[in-house]
Structure 1
């Protein structure tokens, strides 16, 4: 299950990067006076990034086949839910 833990790690890292991009867009929008992502959108992205990174760190420290599968499910479900609710329009 090493490949699954690696794949979920890549997805968790991408989610963290996306959260930082959304925060940056919010800051730039506020400074330049154009609408950007609001506080709720930033909060959802930061919360989802915290969940997936924490889950991935837990999986990397435990290294158990069942835990890897469960954590991968948490990571993929959290990212999927965030993308579905915040980006699907």
Structure 2
């Protein structure tokens, strides 16, 4: 591999990692917004006497927010495989949250 080919490969893999990190950041922000909506719905349901999300759902969203933010921090502050694993962690936690609390 020539120097030019190596630099092109490094630039393209860096661009992929940045894109993955940006996408996982947007997903993490979405999980935070979703948790705020669930918390607000739970609060309003209690105040107005209609059923809202239960304690398990609220707790799951809070735990998911903490895990997603920690994983995104790893993705943002580490390079290489550790950063990619941080982004993948965001996707996995989000998928698990959506599967258990919204789609089942």
Q: Which TM-score applies when normalising by structure 2?
A: 0.81
- Name the Cα RMSD after superposition: 0.9
Structure 2 portions without partners, runs of 5+? 1-16
Structure 1 portions without partners, runs of 5+? none
Q: Count residues with an aligned counterpart.
A: 88
Q: Which TM-score applies when normalising by structure 1?
A: 0.94
Report the Cα distance in structure 2 between the residues aligned to 1:81 and 1:56, rounded to whole angstroms. 16
2:32 match: 16
Moved over 6 A (4+): none
Task: Find 1:50's aligned residue among 40, 59, 66.
Answer: 66
Alignment of 1:1-89 (within 5 A): 1-62=17-78, 64-89=79-104
Structure number, greater radius of gyration: 2
By relative contact order (CA 8 Å, sep 6+), the higher-ranking structure is 1
